[in-house]
Chains A and B, each alone.
Chain A
């Protein structure tokens, strides 16, 4: 290797070495930069982490408070929950609550202190001192005019210096109208030293207030609504009672109208039973006379029989016997009639319950006719064209009231006499009963009103105006549909469609 070549190699190596050295310095500088950057990033991460933790704490406080506030049953519980949550969140503050009324009196003390984490009604001495020294007037004025929390040096708002606490934050929670005027609820945070105050947490606390205000407002509205509901329920109950009474009165009224007829209806059979019994008494003395020889000790057996036989013929014993039987049968029938009427009347006048049973509509119609039969006895005919069987779900007593009402109305529509036709037919799953009269009909202008309570065309004292209204409400309870066809001077037809019971 000649010198030149060796020198060139050395020169190349030196250049390479120099480059390597510079590259290493570059790399080291980069390493230092990276290390510094890494450190700064770590710092930033730590800071962010703390921030996140703090924000999470705030968020937990807010969401927890929100969720629990809505669950509280009343205002006092909302406040208690607020205090408890605040106490956990504001780790350095003593948490009190007090309500001040317009007359500056204190109400509803509640407190939480960090030491005991306990809520109690009895106020510890240190809080008592604070509350007794507070300038209530200033506090009341502030809370009733301002809507934001306010921090005070305790001396600013007290009438005397306090040795336990230095600062206080007044948090207005609510402003209510109460019977004695106005009531303001204030949460009071007490701090022993300025260092304990965490402004960020106080800001979070402040932002929870609007939500709390809404919750309290909502709760009050809810309570008011609840009261209104109770009132409504009470008046509804009263209405129901009144309706029940009206129903009963209407029944009694129609009973009153029917009384004369019913009395006659009862009187009639009783009259002929009485006269029958009178006849029976005569027959009885005849029979006594016929058998009198039996007890005559002076006669022997043979003459006793001869005597009795001759008496039998004289007094027409055969007739007496057969007539007695007829009389007894008729009397029993008469009394059964009386019994039926009385029992039909009693099912009618009974206070009913609302239960629906499977009943036979024919029986109801018969019973109703029984009660009103006297009304139609002399100048009217009653024509029945009923299905052999008509079972529906219904209340027999109430439906009887409906039919009696319809029959009586029909009679009143036909003062000069006429025919009442009661028919029933099947229409798919329905049983349709038609009550038809040949009366004066209903004026078309009245047709819309006939089911309106207290609407009547009868003279005062004759009708209550409730008959059809009550009938209509009874039929509604039965899901029955009523149709009225009427023509002046021709007659009126009520068609009632009941659902057949299965």
Chain B
């Protein structure tokens, strides 16, 4: 996981719950990095899960809600770095369709060690879009949060549900986005 995500998480925690919570999360976990994160470096995924696990217990929020909220927080920080064509997308739906074949491709060019989830799309229904998520990290809730953050960006309202989820033992997560206008 890129250091930039840890930096964003720090910001998210500090803004919502104060710097002490963040410091506690780092000091109460044994982390290989000692909690020192530089945005461009790669850190072990387990550090993120350890921090999130601690925060979930400490703040008494389910991991899924916490990660989803972080996704919403993260989106506006990632968006400025997206390729121009994705930024100019006319709608949320159009934007979401660019994630796998455009945004992730560009990310790969910048960071060839980045590990990105794979998305397949089912867009045969007009007001729905199913994004099929596959990643060994099983961060489908982060995706949900990012989609919600994107909806805010495009000033659209959506509802999200998962027909199946890797956390329930499925082979992939089917994130169904319903566009409410």
Docked-complex contact A19 and B19, CB < 8 angstroms: no
CA A8 to CA B3, docked complex, whole Å: 26
The answer, yes or no, to whether A22 is at the interface (CB within 8 Å) is yes
With A12-B20, A12-B23 as contacts: A19 and B39 at CB distance below 8 Å: no
In the assembled complex, the CB of A296 is this many whole angstroms from the nearest CB of chain B, namely 141
B20: nearest residue on chain A (CB-CB)?
A12
Give A1-37 as 1s and 0s: 1 = Cβ < 8 Å from B's Cβ atoms: 0000000110011011001001100110010000000
The answer, yes or no, to whether B17 is at the interface (CB within 8 Å) is no
CA A27 to CA B3, docked complex, whole Å: 11
Residue positions of B touching A, CB distance < 8 A: 3, 19-20, 22-24, 26-27, 34-41
CA A23 to CA B6, docked complex, whole Å: 12
CA A9 to CA B26, docked complex, whole Å: 15
CA A30 to CA B41, docked complex, whole Å: 9
Of A12, A27, A30, most B-chain CB atoms within 10 Å? A12
Docked-complex contact A8 and B36, CB < 8 angstroms: no
In the assembled complex, the CB of B9 is this many whole angstroms from the nearest CB of chain A, namely 13
CA A22 to CA B41, docked complex, whole Å: 13
A179-232 contacts to B (CB < 8 Å): none
Please, could you name 19 A-B residue pairs with CB atoms under 8 Å apart, sorted by A? A8-B20, A12-B19, A12-B20, A12-B23, A13-B19, A15-B23, A15-B27, A16-B19, A16-B23, A19-B26, A22-B34, A22-B36, A23-B3, A26-B36, A27-B38, A27-B39, A30-B38, A30-B40, A30-B41
Number of cross-chain contacts by CB at 8 Å: 32
CA A16 to CA B37, docked complex, whole Å: 11
Interchain residue pairs A-B with the least CB separation, the first 9:
A12-B23, A26-B38, A22-B36, A27-B38, A12-B20, A23-B36, A19-B36, A23-B38, A19-B35
CA A188 to CA B15, docked complex, whole Å: 82
Chain A's interface size range is 10 to 19
* Residues in B neighbouring A22, C-beta threshold 8 A: 34, 36
* Residues in B neighbouring A13, C-beta threshold 8 A: 19
A8: nearest residue on chain B (CB-CB)?
B20
Residue positions of A touching B, CB distance < 8 A: 8-9, 12-13, 15-16, 19, 22-23, 26-27, 30
Docked-complex contact A16 and B41, CB < 8 angstroms: no
In the assembled complex, the CB of B95 is this many whole angstroms from the nearest CB of chain A, namely 31
* Residues in B neighbouring A23, C-beta threshold 8 A: 3, 36-38
CA A23 to CA B41, docked complex, whole Å: 10
CA A87 to CA B91, docked complex, whole Å: 64
* Residues in A neighbouring B39, C-beta threshold 8 A: 27
Docked-complex contact B41 and A26, CB < 8 angstroms: yes
In the assembled complex, the CB of B178 is this many whole angstroms from the nearest CB of chain A, namely 41
* Residues in A neighbouring B19, C-beta threshold 8 A: 12-13, 16
In the assembled complex, the CB of A64 is this many whole angstroms from the nearest CB of chain B, namely 39
* Residues in A neighbouring B20, C-beta threshold 8 A: 8-9, 12
CA A26 to CA B23, docked complex, whole Å: 19
Docked-complex contact A16 and B22, CB < 8 angstroms: yes
CA A452 to CA B154, docked complex, whole Å: 101
Docked-complex contact A19 and B34, CB < 8 angstroms: yes
In the assembled complex, the CB of B15 is this many whole angstroms from the nearest CB of chain A, namely 14
CA A9 to CA B38, docked complex, whole Å: 24
* Residues in A neighbouring B36, C-beta threshold 8 A: 19, 22-23, 26
CA A15 to CA B40, docked complex, whole Å: 22
CA A209 to CA B111, docked complex, whole Å: 49
In the assembled complex, the CB of A415 is this many whole angstroms from the nearest CB of chain B, namely 105
In the assembled complex, the CB of B111 is this many whole angstroms from the nearest CB of chain A, namely 13
* Residues in A neighbouring B23, C-beta threshold 8 A: 12, 15-16
CA A19 to CA B26, docked complex, whole Å: 10
* Residues in B neighbouring A15, C-beta threshold 8 A: 23, 26-27
In the assembled complex, the CB of A34 is this many whole angstroms from the nearest CB of chain B, namely 9
CA A15 to CA B31, docked complex, whole Å: 14
* Residues in A neighbouring B27, C-beta threshold 8 A: 15
* Residues in A neighbouring B41, C-beta threshold 8 A: 26, 30
CA A23 to CA B36, docked complex, whole Å: 5
In the assembled complex, the CB of B11 is this many whole angstroms from the nearest CB of chain A, namely 12
* Residues in A neighbouring B24, C-beta threshold 8 A: 12
Can you add 11 more A-B contacts, CB < 8 Å, to A12-B24, A15-B27, A19-B35?
A13-B19, A16-B23, A19-B26, A22-B34, A22-B36, A23-B36, A23-B38, A26-B36, A26-B38, A27-B39, A30-B38
* Residues in B neighbouring A9, C-beta threshold 8 A: 20
CA A58 to CA B38, docked complex, whole Å: 48
* Residues in A neighbouring B38, C-beta threshold 8 A: 23, 26-27, 30
A20: nearest residue on chain B (CB-CB)?
B36
CA A404 to CA B116, docked complex, whole Å: 102
In the assembled complex, the CB of A35 is this many whole angstroms from the nearest CB of chain B, namely 13
B6: nearest residue on chain A (CB-CB)?
A23
B23: nearest residue on chain A (CB-CB)?
A12
* Residues in A neighbouring B3, C-beta threshold 8 A: 23
In the assembled complex, the CB of A90 is this many whole angstroms from the nearest CB of chain B, namely 43
Of B35, B37, B38, B40, most A-chain CB atoms within 10 Å? B38
* Residues in B neighbouring A27, C-beta threshold 8 A: 38-40
* Residues in A neighbouring B34, C-beta threshold 8 A: 19, 22
CA A22 to CA B26, docked complex, whole Å: 15
B40: nearest residue on chain A (CB-CB)?
A30
CA A8 to CA B19, docked complex, whole Å: 11
CA A12 to CA B36, docked complex, whole Å: 14
CA A16 to CA B34, docked complex, whole Å: 11
In the assembled complex, the CB of A23 is this many whole angstroms from the nearest CB of chain B, namely 5
* Residues in A neighbouring B40, C-beta threshold 8 A: 27, 30
